[in-house]
Amino acid sequence: MNLVTLKDWSAEEVATVLEVSLAMKADPDRFDGTMKGKNLALLFQKTSTRTRYSSEIGMLQLGGQAVYLDWDVTNFGLADLADEIKVLSLYSDLMLVRLLKHADVLKATAASRVPVMNGCCDRYHPLQGLADIMTIREAVGRLDGIRLTYVGVRNNVCNSLVAAGVKVGMHVTAVTPEVNPAAADEALYEEARRVGLFDEEDDLAAALARSDVVYTDTWIDMEYFTDPDFAVEKERRLALFQPYQLNAETLGSHKVRIMHCLPAHRGYEIDGAILNDPRSIIFDQAENRLHSQKAVILKLAGKLL
């Protein structure tokens, strides 16, 4: 079993990992030693704080170990991806890959002899999606019937919320004036629309008025944020998205939980003060990356029914 996108998992599989994530947080000692002697390979083509560290620490807490490989200091850039992944998998029990392109995640998954987790590509971020639904369930007490507004660029994180929503009965409204072309997944949106769990809205205030949760993410892919060659595009996006920033004015008195997958670009998609707003569950969400990551490791290792 792999985790490339939550589209590939059944509702029962998502529910199992969700329950184990919550149990992991409530009583982590119960899972001591469950990955004893096992090795997780972490291959990263992009930077990371949460995904990398929650995976390394999570694996250690479960009694196993994780080994981090930075793409730039390996021979992945010299060779065929499938050959290098196959070799890596011969030394590992599990693998997590953060690769730029979804097509490469699929190639890696096909080549690996061990289960693979997608640690975020240009189309999906399923580990984030699982931590997100765990956080909403914890904060609100349920997922079925929850209405979430996603505001910003329609990207990999938005896609994973929609995919998770379909599995747990959570409705997602996209207030997304622009879709990242690499992330566009019409089949996913069509399926979510068909089951009444996805729609689109231009008016952020109108969407917030009927939402339990609002969620935003960066307007610009991380790797471009400080790239001088991206300056013109960056200015265009900042102008387009500025009215959609989460701040005291746009949030008003709406009774919504506020989420962000982090890293936050304070003063861009979110005003810095909002991270610590009483309605914010952003740092619970970040903490839950650890608990849910450990549950996914157990699931892929075949330790959960």
Interaction site with ligand CP (CB under 6 A): 48-51, 120, 128, 261-263
Question: Judged by CB, which is closer to ligand CP: 118, or 128?
Answer: 128
Question: Judged by CB, which is closer to ligand CP: 7, or 125?
Answer: 125
Question: Judged by CB, which is closer to ligand CP: 10, or 49?
Answer: 49
State the nearest-atom distance from the C-beta of 49 to ligand CP, in Å.
3
Phi and psi based region of residue 152 (left: phi greater than 0; alpha: psi -120 to 50; beta: remaining) = left
Question: Judged by CB, which is closer to ligand CP: 111, or 291?
Answer: 291
State the nearest-atom distance from the C-beta of 48 to ligand CP, in Å.
3
Closest by Cα among 258, 305, 251 to 282 = 258
Question: Judged by CB, which is closer to ligand CP: 117, or 120?
Answer: 120
Question: Judged by CB, which is closer to ligand CP: 250, or 293?
Answer: 293
Q: Is residue 124 a contact partner of residue 98, using CB atoms and an 8 Å limit?
A: no
Q: Which residue is nearest to ligand CP (CB)?
A: 51
Q: Is residue 258 a contact partner of residue 214, using CB atoms and an 8 Å limit?
A: yes
State the nearest-atom distance from the C-beta of 42 to ligand CP, in Å.
11
State the nearest-atom distance from the C-beta of 46 to ligand CP, in Å.
7
Question: Judged by CB, which is closer to ligand CP: 49, or 242?
Answer: 49
State the nearest-atom distance from the C-beta of 232 to ligand CP, in Å.
25
d(CA 136, CA 213): 8
State the nearest-atom distance from the C-beta of 193 to ligand CP, in Å.
26
State the nearest-atom distance from the C-beta of 179 to ligand CP, in Å.
20
DSSP letter string, the chain? --BS-GGGS-HHHHHHHHHHHHHHHH-GGGGTTTTTT-EEEEEESS--SHHHHHHHHHHHHTT-EEEEEEGGGSSTTTS-HHHHHHHHHHT-SEEEEE-S-HHHHHHHHHH-SS-EEE---SS--HHHHHHHHHHHHHHHS--TT-EEEEEEEE-HHHHHHHHHHHHHT-EEEEEEEEE-TTT--HHHHHHHHHTT-EEE-S-HHHHHHT-SEEEE--SS-GGGTT-GGGHHHHHHHHHHHGGG-BSHHHHTT---EEEE-S---BTTTB-GGGGGSTTB-HHHHHHHHHHHHHHHHHHHTT---
Pairing state of beta strands 65-70 and 39-44?
Answer: parallel
Question: Judged by CB, which is closer to ligand CP: 50, or 147?
Answer: 50
State the nearest-atom distance from the C-beta of 299 to ligand CP, in Å.
19
Question: Judged by CB, which is closer to ligand CP: 111, or 118?
Answer: 118
State the nearest-atom distance from the C-beta of 107 to ligand CP, in Å.
21
